[in-house]
Amino acid sequence: MLKEWEKSEKPSEEEIKARLEAVKEKLARQQLLIKEKKVPVLVVLEGWGTAGKGYAIGQIIQNIDPRFFKVFDMEKTKKSLFGPMDLTKGTCWKTILIFSLPVILSYLLQQVYSISDAAIVGQTLTAQEVAGVNDTTSLVFIFLQFAFGVSAGFCVITSCNVGAHNPAGVRRSLTTQIVLSGVLTVVLTALALVLLDPMLAWINVTPDSPEVYRAAYTYCAIIFAGIGAQLFYNFICSFLRSMGDSVTPLAFLLFSTLLNVGLDLLFIVVFRWGVAGAALATGISQCIGGLLPLILFLGKNDSLLHLVPTRLEWRPFFLSCTNGMSELMGNISSSIVSMLYNFQLLNYAGENGIAAYGVLMYVQFIFIAVFFGYTIGVGPVIGYHYGAGNHAELKNLLRKSLKLNIITGISMTILANLFAGALSRIFVGYDPELYAMTKSAFHIFALSFLVCGINIFASAFFTALNNGLVSAVISFLRTLVFQVGSVLILPAFLGLTGIWLSNTFADLMAMLISIIFLAAMRKRDHYA
């Protein structure tokens, strides 16, 4: 058959043009027929270069009524779905919700990860090993807060630069952020390892309890050795959110979480590596989670997310340190307050009181994840509009955010009371007395959800406006002064109930301070 084939002669240029004209006329007629029959048609062009596809499309649509077709660029579509959002455009409320939802999911995922990790450790290790791991949580937390506070400040600086259409400032912020993560890694890792013994003694973990001490030392040493990955991951995710990308950090976190749970099961259950296996699983998953963003930035792209040589500036570093002080102070204060709660509970309720409080902390994080997630998500939006000088949108953001936090607070309180029994049973259902105490405590403790969202948002709102001093004052008063005062004074009059009410009373006092500052600073920060 092929042997019988004969190559036809190439048509002349005039004949080719005549054929094309005939095909174009037929295409125009067919288009009208397709429209009358209401038949959808999809034409996909793949291959050639940009110029080649453009020429081909131009030839196709030349004789088609422009009212009846649309041209889509798949690359642009892809970027709009997965790339950074322009937070200064579009409907404010819609933009906030779309951007914040992945952040809320990220925060919830972190809490689920913590609970699942604790469950695997609790079910497989000895009681002494579990105690050693749990006792060191506050130490690891305090060290990480330095990075979290600074990254919050960087997020604001980056958002303002993007809002002001300053790409050079954005790149300098990214470069400085990455350099800073390296510096902090070296400093914090060295300090943590050198001061490990004194810090363990500070939380009463000593060689007098050899198994607990050995577990705590092993866990901390491995976790602190890989602390750089956690710092880098947090820095990069903050930068991505400040650029308008809240989906990519969620994807990184989801991958890291699943990897951590898988490695926990492999190292602890299968290999029987004990505490070292738990620490290695966490460290490896965080290292990989920290390297993935680096691959993203090193990849070739035309966005501001691409690393390029740029001048290193230390002014953004110092600004971020001061502006992120409220987040740093709030998180460290929480660790201190938790220790005070444990001290008071031991006096008023014994070991059961401490156990009940531990359950409340786990469950509380799930409920307030919505507040923190929304706050983290809306922060870059506020920074964008502040940097762009959109004062009307700032006012709109403040008003709608306060309404949302009030509605969410009421909803969270109702849900917490409805599910207090079920949630308590999951953690302490094995002990009827402890279950009853935890359920009763949760009903009282849940009242704090009514107002805590307003305080969390108010502090973050001023951080986003580059007003770190006011933000730090609100955070300091709420998390340290009011909570310390409440947990020390209220039990003297109300007993154990006073301890469970301390959080609510502190949040009520902090809300009054937040309202005063919001009213006093409205002219200065242009959201009146």
| Secondary structure of 396-458 in HEC code, one letter for each residue | HHHHHHHHHHHHHHHHHHHHHHHCHHHHHHHHHCCCHHHHHHHHHHHHHHHHHHHHHHHHHHH
State the Cα–Cα distance between residues 74 and 43, nearest whole angstrom. 13
Give the Cα-Cα-Cα angle 514, 517, 519 (nearest 5 degrees).
110
Domain endpoint, select from 276, 293, 323: 323
| Most confidently predicted of 99-103, 270-274, 460-464 | 270-274
What does the block give as tokens for 50?
């940009």
Q: pLDDT: is 479 or 78 the higher one? A: 479
pLDDT, average across residues 406-432:
88
125 lies in the same domain as 253 = yes
Give the Cα-Cα-Cα angle 508, 510, 514 (nearest 5 degrees).
115
Res. 465 pLDDT band, cuts 50 70 90? confident
Q: Is residue 93 a part of any domain in this protein?
A: no
SS3 state at 11? coil
Question: Which single residue is written with the structure tokens 């709009």?
Answer: 80
Q: pLDDT: is 503 or 235 the higher one? A: 503
Res. 7 pLDDT band, cuts 50 70 90? low
Q: Is residue 81 a part of any domain in this protein?
A: no
pLDDT, average across residues 300-306:
58
199 lies in the same domain as 293 = yes
Q: Is residue 80 a part of any domain in this protein?
A: no
Q: pLDDT: is 343 or 242 the higher one? A: 343
377 lies in the same domain as 306 = no
431 lies in the same domain as 292 = no
Long-range contacts: 255-262, Cβ < 8 Å, 24+? Answer: 255/288, 255/289, 255/292, 256/285, 256/286, 256/288, 256/289, 257/109, 257/110, 257/112, 257/113, 257/285, 259/284, 259/285, 259/288, 259/289, 260/113, 260/117, 260/285, 260/286, 261/113, 261/116, 261/117, 261/120
Residue 116 confidence (pLDDT): 67
- Residue range(s) defining the domain that contains residue 488: 329-528
SS3 state at 312? coil
Q: pLDDT: is 111 or 369 the higher one? A: 369
122 lies in the same domain as 178 = yes
| Most confidently predicted of 24-33, 206-215, 362-371, 497-506 | 497-506
386 lies in the same domain as 487 = yes
Domain endpoint, select from 323, 345, 371: 323
Are 374 and 74 in contact, with CB atoms under 8 Å apart?
no
Residue 109 confidence (pLDDT): 78
State the Cα–Cα distance between residues 9 and 83, nearest whole angstrom. 50
Are 75 and 63 in contact, with CB atoms under 8 Å apart?
no
Question: Which single residue is written with the structure tokens 């409440």?
Answer: 486
Q: Which residue, among 428, 417, 489, 475, has the nearest Cα to 450 in the 3D structure?
A: 417
305 lies in the same domain as 350 = no
Q: Is residue 86 a part of any domain in this protein?
A: no
Q: Is residue 71 a part of any domain in this protein?
A: no
Q: pLDDT: is 78 or 415 the higher one? A: 415
pLDDT surpasses 60 at 131: yes
282 lies in the same domain as 391 = no
Res. 81 pLDDT band, cuts 50 70 90? very low
pLDDT, average across residues 176-192:
78
Q: Which residue, among 71, 74, 39, 77, has the nearest Cα to 57 in the 3D structure?
A: 71
Q: Could you tell me the pTM of the whole model?
A: 0.64
pLDDT, average across residues 504-516:
93
**How many separate domains does the chain show?**
3
- Would you give the distance in Å from CA 69 to the centre of its chain? 41
231 lies in the same domain as 367 = no
Domain endpoint, select from 22, 45, 65: 65
Q: Is residue 236 a part of any domain in this protein?
A: yes
SS3 state at 182? helix
- In total, the chain counts a number of residues equal to 528
Q: pLDDT: is 470 or 50 the higher one? A: 470
State the Cα–Cα distance between residues 388 and 14, nearest whole angstrom. 58
In 3-state terms the chain splits into helix, strand, coil percentages (rounded to 5) of: 80, 0, 20
159 lies in the same domain as 301 = yes
State the Cα–Cα distance between residues 407 and 93, nearest whole angstrom. 15
Q: pLDDT: is 458 or 137 the higher one? A: 458
Q: Is residue 414 a part of any domain in this protein?
A: yes
pLDDT, average across residues 338-361:
81
Lowest mean pLDDT among 287-291, 345-349, 477-481: 287-291
Q: Is residue 113 a part of any domain in this protein?
A: yes
What are the b/e assignments for 216-249, b being 16+ CB within 10 Å?
bbbbbebbbebbbbbbbbbbbbbbbbbbbbbbbb
Residue 175 confidence (pLDDT): 72
364 lies in the same domain as 448 = yes
156 lies in the same domain as 259 = yes
Residue 159 confidence (pLDDT): 63
Res. 204 pLDDT band, cuts 50 70 90? confident
Average pLDDT score, the chain? 76
- Condensed to tens digits (0 to 9), the pLDDT of residues 140-161 reads 766 666 656 566 556 666 666 6
State the Cα–Cα distance between residues 409 and 504, nearest whole angstrom. 12
